[in-house]
Structure 1
Amino acid sequence: MTSIETAREKLPVLLSIRGEQYFDDVDPDATELMTEGTLEVTENGLRLVYQESALTGMEGTTTVFEVSGPRVTLTRQGGVNSQMIFEEGRQHTSLYETPFGELTVDIQTSLLRHNLSERGGVMEIKYSIAVEHTVTGKNCFKIRVKRK
């Protein structure tokens, strides 16, 4: 069997996700979530998948991080549908679907660091977000991935 034919293994992982949102000079609004997910090595990098919970307000949504070189793509499907592309020093625009309609979202990534491998690791992304071209704040999230 060649490496391309090898079935890709979805490795069970424990995720610790900390998100912070900064608005003007107000203390950051932080959320921390511990959840289970899967880590999969792909041709282009890594794929991290987990289910959102009531804690994040996105119950019924599957979140996927595709890590490919200097770019990370975050896709959510289910109760919330969106795609955000993070690439340090670049801006990407995408649509964010909500039950109330679609919004244009600009993501400007200031920092993207990770040491993820099939053994786990840490990923940190800092970015500002503009909804309908109006900056609504700065965000940061740090995801720790541990093999189960």
Structure 2
Amino acid sequence: MDKSVIISIKGKQSYEDVEDETIELVTEGLLNKEGEGEYTLSYQESELTGLEGTLTTFQVEQGRITLMRIGEVNSQMVFEEGRRHLSMYDTPYGALAIGINTRRMRSSLGEHGGDIEIDYAIEIDHAMAGQNLFQINVREKKGPVIKH
């Protein structure tokens, strides 16, 4: 069952010799329980993130979070604490092979919302490209109160 939720995302990117970049986004999305302790969180990207026309989905499982983007940008990134995963990042300008090294990951996502935090490093062509931190808060969307 899809549940309408409000998703607050704070993303911080750190690169050498460049000032940190922080993006904050609040959007509506859907939370779906897939199995025991497994959830899917999805939302449409906006112009603010530069990924307009892209559907972003987080699949949250025990010990693993998979981030998938489908649309203008197509990618799949797998996060597992202490592990390195390779993936393709397909943009309108071309495809890149990237490595994801997850340093820390935690999720308290449940049927009523919760938090996800992912701290990871990105490599492009085996060279460190930057450190990223995702902080995501999910809460149930409250409908208007109708009094009789």
Deviates more, 1:83-92 or 1:22-31: 22-31
Runs of 5+ unmatched residues, structure 1: 1-8
Matched, 1:31 2:20: no
Question: Residues 74-124 of structure 1: CA distance to partner in whole angstroms, max 9, x if unpaired?
Answer: 000000000000000000000110112211010000000111100101100
**Contact 1:104 / 1:133 at 8 angstroms: preserved in 2?**
no
Give the strand-richer structure, 1 or 2.
2
What is the percent sequence identity of the aligned residues? 48
The TM-score, its normalising length taken from structure 1, stands at 0.92
Matched, 1:11 2:3: yes
Structure 1's consecutive aligned runs of 4 or more residues displaced over 4 angstroms after TM superposition are: none
Deviates more, 1:63-72 or 1:35-44: 35-44
Q: Secondary structure of 2:31's match? A: strand
- Aligned pairs for 1:20-59 (under 5 A) are 20-24=12-16, 26-43=18-35, 45-59=38-52
Q: After TM superposition, give the deviation of residue 134 of structure 1 in Å.
A: 1.5
- Aligned pairs for 1:84-103 (under 5 A) are 84-103=77-96
The TM-score, its normalising length taken from structure 2, stands at 0.92
Cα distance in 2 for partners of 1:39, 1:75 equals 15
Task: Name the Cα RMSD after superposition.
Answer: 1.0
Runs of 5+ unmatched residues, structure 2: 142-148
Corresponding residue pairs, total? 140
